[in-house]
Amino acid sequence: MGNLSWGFILLVFSAFFLNLDAFELRKGQKTERISGSAGDVLEDDPVGRLKVFVYELPSKYNKKILQKDPRCLNHMFAAEIYMHRFLLSSPVRTLNPEEADWFYTPVYTTCDLTPNGLPLPFKSPRMMRSAIQLISSNWPYWNRTEGADHFFIVPHDFGACFHYQEEKAIERGILPLLQRATLVQTFGQRNHVCLKEGSITVPPYAPPQKMQSHLIPPSIPRSIFVYFRGLFYDVGNDPEGGYYARGARAAVWENFKDNPLFDISTEHPTTYYEDMQRAVFCLCPLGWAPWSPRLVEAVIFGCIPVIIADDIVLPFADAIPWEDIGVYVDEKDVPNLDTILTSIPTEVILRKQRLLANPSMKQAMLFPHPAQPGDAFHQILNGLARKLPHDKTVYLRKGEKVLNWTAGPLADLKPW
């Protein structure tokens, strides 16, 4: 690109911000309701619409694991822990399994972290299997449907495929014993073996109090055009390049590292959350998995998420009009990211910012403790309630078996 066109873009860029000033655009001042039937369901109250039975498992499946590593409480997979706590005291809980619409098995399969805090999914299949064995032999409800009225929280990179490398995850597929259950997972990508139909895609856990404590006054203008902090290459796991983020992050760096509109770097500053509040667009590219906590952070901080992850299924996509709120850019179009973003009309940007400022939007992305109406816990329950009543075909005839207990890799069959 010649100097002339750069000059032009910079001119447009400053005109753009003068415009924003003229409109007196300030964070948090104007909000817009997410209208229509899609937006309204965010405010649904699940109480009275479903009853959930929580299996009581030995603590080695949940509490003991957490005691061993309390970091699991602040990890992006922590939803499995908070959902358990939430359900125990939720009014939708029933102590009578005979009247339950849904059965929930509290098993913390992602709470196994390396010293560096990276989650290891290698024990998850055996642990999950062991828990299912236990509930199916101690209660009659699993065998009745082989899990079709049971839901599981599987917040791992590729959900119940239980591997962090996509190829391996695909090779494994969804754990055979979970093939009839409803999976509540962060992973979402269309036409992918690790997302089965009827799953509920949820946001990853991001610590609500911590984010709250970094809020800056809404009067501070958004003077950064595009913001991103994170890896562009993963040299350790992908030395040749091209696998990590399918090359999309590398393309961001190679095309825009010297572009003054782009504030991008691998360095995570202490002002990361504040910087997002000073930015108009926040890049949310895929990494090893299509999703990351950046989406949640962008929504909370009112920074328009730029989704770069082809075919991604975003959290609660049946309730949230993501196309109106964020910007989708195809992975192959990353080299044109500057043109794509600078040509979005100001009115469109302002509308996206007003939608992002909607408190119900932010609430749906969070797992706060204590829980609050409309938060991610409630959206999960709403999603489960919308699946009721169960189709009669989920109930098996007496003695009928559909699942294969010996399918899957041999190593998964070892006792946990």
The residues that touch ligand NAG, with contacts defined as CB under 6 A, are 136-137, 140, 143, 404, 406-407
Q: Is 226 exposed, middle or buried (0-12, 13-18, 19+ CB in 10 A)?
A: buried
Minimum distance, C-beta of residue 176 to ligand NAG, in the bound complex (Å):
8
CA proximity to 341, closest of 189, 228, 217 = 228
Secondary structure (3-state) at 406: coil
Give the nearer residue to ligand NAG in terms of CB position, either 58 or 140: 140
What are the backbone angles phi and psi of residue 304, rounded to the nearest 5°?
A: -60, 120
Q: Which two tokens stand for residue 391?
A: 């189709």
Count of CA atoms in the C-beta half-sphere (13 A) of 344: 23
> Which one, 135 or 366, has the nearer CB to ligand NAG?
135
Smallest distance from the beta carbon of 356 to ligand NAG, in angstroms?
A: 48
Cross-strand bridge partners of residue 93 = 52
Q: Whole-number minimum distance, CB 1 to ligand NAG, in Å? A: 55
**Least Å from the CB of residue 213 to ligand NAG:** 48
**Cβ 97 to ligand NAG, closest distance in Å?**
12
Least Å distance, CB 129 to ligand NAG, is 13
**Cα 122–285–72 angle (5° rounding)?**
35
> Any residues with CB less than 8 A from the CB of 381 and at least 6 apart, and which?
46, 49, 50, 52, 90, 92
Q: φ, ψ for residue 283 (rounded to 5)? A: -75, 135
Q: Output the six-digit token pair for 165.
A: 């490398």
| Contact partners, residue 245, CB within 8 Å, separation at least 6 | 285, 286, 287, 288
- Smallest distance, Å, CB 404 to ligand NAG? 4
Task: Determine the Cα–Cα distance for residues 377 and 315; give it in Å rounded to an integer.
Answer: 12
Of 71 and 414, which has the nearer Cβ to ligand NAG?
414
Q: Give the other-Cβ count within 10 Å of 391's Cβ.
A: 8
Q: Within a 10 A sphere around the Cβ of 254, how many other Cβ atoms?
A: 12
* Nearer CB in complex with ligand NAG: 7/140: 140
Q: Which is nearer to ligand NAG, 221 or 408 (CB)?
A: 408
Sequence letter at residue 367: F
| Residue placing its CB nearer to ligand NAG in the complex, 137 or 336 | 137
The distance of Cα 117 from the centroid of its chain, to the nearest Å, equals 19
Between 257 and 401, whose beta carbon lies closer to ligand NAG?
Answer: 401
Here the tokens at position 76 are 């992006």
Q: In angstroms, give the least distance from the CB of 143 to ligand NAG.
A: 4
Neighbours of 18 (CB within 10 A): 10
What does the block give as tokens for 285? Answer: 């590219």
Closer to ligand NAG by Cβ: residue 140 or 335 = 140
Specify the residue, 393 or 406, whose C-beta has the smaller distance to ligand NAG: 406
Decide if 357 contacts 302 (C-beta within 8 A).
Answer: yes
Q: Which is nearer to ligand NAG, 147 or 290 (CB)?
A: 147
Q: What minimum distance in Å lies between the beta carbon of 139 and ligand NAG?
A: 6
H or E, element range at 85: helix 79-88
- Minimal distance, residue 100 CB to ligand NAG, in Å: 16
Q: Which is nearer to ligand NAG, 217 or 409 (CB)?
A: 409
**In the complex, least distance from residue 401 CB atom to ligand NAG, rounded to whole angstroms:** 6
Cβ atoms of 403 and 176 closer than 8 Å: yes
**Structural element, H or E, at residue 354:** helix 346-356
Are 52 and 149 in contact by the 8 Å Cβ rule? The answer is no
